[in-house]
Amino acid sequence: MPESALPESALPGSALPESALPAAVLFDMDGTLVDTEHLWWEAAAELAEELHRPLTDQDAPEVLGRAVEHTAAHLHRVSGTELSEAEVAERLGESFADKVAAETVPRPGALALLASLREARVPTALVSASPRRVVDLVLSTIGRDWFTVTLAAEDTERTKPAPDPYLAAAERLGLDPAACVAVEDTPTGVTSASAAGCAVLAVPSTATPMPDGARITLLDSLANADLALLGKLGAHQAV
């Protein structure tokens, strides 16, 4: 029987009918697919110490899930350093890139979930607020072929928490964002994906409270996510 004639229930790589699969899954990177969110915090904390203004829990909203430029602007503002904002951003970005190059570990369940999506032929996107050089470092470790498209901080005029990255990912895939499921680990990322109209699977990497929303679902680990869950979340489109 030719592949195109297979019944939906027999689609290769999936026991689910095509109608039960998500239209696409859009993944955040740091803290969601790879355990790098703590490296980002370490890079910011080390620089903050050098600037004589140690980080506290109160700084978390300005660091976790944020782009280099945003966190650099925050450190520049609160430390009163004589360094320019651009110099702070350069030092922060270099430190983070060095840490990622030395230590990139996939989050539990991440690669298995990506494999199941690829087998089921579900389009995927990597949607990161990290610079392209950091995204490429991670992709060189976990593999580039998992993703249909990838977006880094430079690829949109505004990055997270603005909706632009997720809107751009859906556009590149030729899909309505409301039909896509975004997977995020920080409030910043959840806000971005939700504002774009995506259903959101939030898998927190820290104890920071997540935003509430009708299409925001909390899960403790990607190891507990599967195609059925993602398909269910994507099916509940906003009307």
Residue 61 to residue 58: CA distance in whole angstroms: 7
Please count the other Cβ atoms lying within 10 Å of the Cβ belonging to residue 84: 11
Residue with tokens 């995204």, as numbered in its chain: 135
For the CA atoms of 132, 27, 205, 215, the dihedral, rounded to the nearest 10 degrees, stands at: 140
Nearest 5 degrees, angle CA 176-CA 181-CA 187?
Answer: 115
Is residue 220 flagged as an active site residue? no
For the CA atoms of 189, 39, 135, 70, the dihedral, rounded to the nearest 10 degrees, stands at: 50
Cβ distance 124 to 26 under 8 Å?
yes
Residue with tokens 């620089």, as numbered in its chain: 47
Catalytic residue among 30, 59, 155, 164: 30
Is residue 212 flagged as an active site residue? no
Cβ distance 139 to 171 under 8 Å?
no
Beta 180-184 vs 24-27: how paired, if at all?
A: parallel
Per residue in 32-59, is it b (16+ CB within 10 Å) or e — as a string? Answer: bbbbbbbbbbebbbebbeebebebeeeb
- Which residues form the catalytic set? 28, 30
